Structure 1
Amino acid sequence: MKKRGIQSRDVAAAKAETLIEALPWINKMYGKTFVIKYGGSAMEDKELCARVVADIELMKLMGVRVVLVHGGGKAINALLKRLDVPVKFKDGLRVTDPDTMEAVREVLIGKVNQELVWALNEYGHNAVGISGADGKTLKAEVVDPELGRVGRVREVDTNLINTILDDGYIPVVASVGCAPDGFLNINADAAAGKIAEAMGADKLIYLTDVDGLLEDVNDPESLIAQMSRAETHELLDSGKLDGGMIPKIRSVASALDSGVQEVVIVNGKADHSLLLEIFTDEGCGTMFTQD
């Protein structure tokens, strides 16, 4: 039953104003293709995940073609700890021996992917889960023998993803690639970037655990609101980046070089950060644009 009264009317009016503000953005975004990389704490926390999934579903209802690409680093670490398998990283990439590769497949394809598909399908018949090995979507090659079964995306076949989109579903892609000799572990940031490039995506969004790119990692107030393609390359060459931010910014630069118009890093732990970025005047996070 609807509530009546002046106070309820004022609340409803505020909501209506929000919708009016979003109207030109909805019109602008209709039919666009967005690739969203999802990971970190925003995916591990069930309540946060439910809010992000609701935002994605609303985007779909508003006519945005959404491709969701995910990792699952924390869940992989948890399984490896239970299996007593050492966890090692080099330049932000997970060192992946055969045992680790088995754990990556089990977590990404068998657990995380299916949980995201289930969450999206709570709103209807909305999502189909695949890995990069399905339909040879992510054809990859070994990056460095010292990293083991870590792959670099050599080619993206978008046929399966486009078929899923054209049938009215959201493709949920686990970042596992295929090579002639088996499966490869693909960094999810890099996988999302390569998919965005191959699809000619209008926007690539990284949902992460921070508000965006910080000038000083110890100062949350030092958020960089916007960077050009040239500035992004300068940052990569500066040596200031470390850890997981290296492959992330590398994939940002590659996506811009390949013609993606906008790349955004936003905090997936903030309420409705996706909607604020896409459907409001203010936006949030760090936006990377062409020069």
Structure 2
Amino acid sequence: MVDILGTLSQEMDGLSRSEQRIAGIIFDDRPFAVNASIIELAARAEVSPPTVTRFCRRLGCQSFSEFKVRLAQSAFIGQRYEEPQSNATNVQEVVETILTRAQSVLHSLHDHLDMDAIDAAATAIAKADMVYAFGSGGNSSLFAGELQNRLFRLGLRTSSSNDHSMQLMTASTVSANDVVIGLSISGRNRELVRALDVASGYGAKVITISKPNSLVAETAATNIGIDLAEGVDVLRPSSARFAFLAAIDIVAHLVAIKRKDLAIEPLRRIKSQLVTHRDGDDSQPLGD
């Protein structure tokens, strides 16, 4: 369902003069619009109550009461976006904000990581016949791909998916020697939960990197908990992904240590091909 304010913004140019007066009140005095009766709103906009009713129906509401409920929901949910606050106003301040925030979330991750969960996850992954990484949405899709990127080079058979249907189908094919890793910043991805429950039902070891005590975390035998407050600056990119990427690196490094003898040969092969066909020496990173 599209929120009322979004719909109203799109419809503004096509509104009649009477409807534009109603819309102006909604944008200029949201508390009044949310609490006013249809008679009070009509009087302030200098229109008739039936005009208000037609206005509500134009926005997809069956009644004035439904309109007020949806307006209140839009106003509450989007409050931070009405007058976005940001302490950064120039290049130097943006640089300081992003880098300082990245340092802050990494320090917080260091202070709150569950070492036993990290070790349990790495142990299970190191012994797995197949590792599946599931993540959907902008950041979590990135995490799933990065997890595959970190693990395949260690000689592990690894696959990642950011599509809910593929996740569900893939989860239906797993076995008891497989590991399925679910990644979610919010922990509220119900489609991911469904896929993880299916994988668990077929015997796979389910590991999650997500908010503690969340829907996603509750599906897992082991959860690496990450819970970071984002703050009020809606213009700044989320900093939580720095913590997730660091957690993935930590797990991958520990898996490499546990699989040292098995990991060295695929790493050597990758480096050999990169030196031969791209780098010309052994000084560059293992990848691009």
Pair in the same fold by TM > 0.5: no
Question: Between Structure 1 and Structure 2, which shows a larger proportion of strand residues?
Answer: 1
Give the TM-score normalised by structure 1: 0.29
Of Structure 1 and Structure 2, which has the larger fraction of its residues in helix?
A: 2
Greater relative contact order, per chain length (Cα 8 Å cut-off, separation 6+) = 1
TM-score by length of 2: 0.29
Q: Which has the larger radius of gyration?
A: 2
